[in-house]
């Protein structure tokens, strides 16, 4: 089986009703990113940050995977599929994808404020005051904030380097270091780019641009890929 590596961003989840923060000048559901998505914000006002992510978590739980998520999951019948996502929702997993690497954490889990590798499932949709990790510290969302290291970045780069087919779906490739992952894709690999606003992707004639929403664009990508999945 060929290895299909897919890098997804906020555009694929937007069609499930989850807002993308970069579409409104740095606002995410009416909040400034600096007030809710940085280590400094957590130190200044942990109650606000916790409330913000509790609300986002509730929205994620209520959202449903869309056709783009489900189509990517169905590719596992034909390819060795590895999804690398910048999204903090679990919609890929709920759609049926079995190999999903989250670059920026998963909002449905909590983590230790001392050791980000120590994570826990969340019952319901809230992390409450007094919910402590094994070190006795208040639990925080399992989310990589701006200014924090991306723990899975090296693993993601290694996966990209092994790709036989690569796809970028629903991301403008504007958030680094995640956007740099495409530089690890071998030079001779076909790259699909699906977005309403196609970002620049190196590769010349090997780049297949599909200017469409994720649900429509992934369906078009599937039509082409499944004509000759073993070619």
The Cα-based distances of 188 to 5, 78, 164, 174 in angstroms read 14, 21, 9, 24
Cβ contacts of 71 within 8 Å, gap of 6 or more: 218, 219, 222
Beta strands in 13-129 (DSSP E): 27-28, 31-32, 80-85, 100-102, 105-111, 119-121
Give yes or no for a contact between 98 and 69, defined as CB atoms under 8 angstroms apart: no
102 is catalytic: no
The upper half-sphere exposure of residue 11, i.e. CA atoms within 13 Å in the direction of its Cβ, equals 24
Dihedral of CA 112/113/117/122: which sign? positive
Locate 127 and state its tokens: 């992390």
Catalytic residue among 69, 104, 142, 228: 104
d(CA 68, CA 137): 39
Task: Centre a 10 Å sphere on the Cβ of residue 176 and count the other Cβ atoms it contains.
Answer: 9
Give yes or no for a contact between 103 and 156, defined as CB atoms under 8 angstroms apart: yes
Please list the active-site residues: 104
């Amino acid at each position: 089986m060929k290895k299909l590596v897919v890098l997804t961003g906020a555009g694929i989840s937007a069609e499930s009703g989850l807002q993308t923060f970069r579409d409104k000048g740095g606002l995410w559901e009416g909040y400034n990113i600096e007030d809710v998505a940085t280590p400094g914000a957590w130190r200044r006002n942990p109650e606000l940050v916790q409330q913000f992510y509790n609300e986002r978590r509730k929205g994620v739980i209520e959202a449903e995977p869309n056709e783009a998520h489900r189509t990517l999951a169905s590719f596992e019948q034909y390819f060795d599929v590895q999804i690398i996502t910048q999204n903090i929702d679990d919609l890929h997993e709920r759609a049926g994808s079995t190999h999903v690497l989250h670059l920026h954490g998963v909002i449905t889990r909590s983590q230790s404020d001392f050791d980000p590798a120590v994570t826990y499932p969340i019952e319901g949709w809230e992390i409450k005051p007094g919910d402590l990790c094994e070190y006795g510290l208040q639990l925080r969302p399992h989310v990589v904030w701006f200014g924090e290291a991306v723990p899975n970045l090296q693993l993601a780069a290694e996966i990209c380097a092994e790709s036989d087919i690569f796809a970028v779906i629903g991301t403008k490739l504007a958030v680094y270091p995640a956007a740099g992952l495409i530089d690890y894709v071998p030079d001779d690999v076909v790259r699909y780019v699906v977005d309403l606003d196609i970002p620049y992707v190196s590769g010349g004639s090997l780049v297949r641009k599909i200017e469409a929403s994720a649900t429509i664009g992934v369906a078009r990508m599937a039509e082409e890929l499944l004509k000759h999945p073993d070619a």
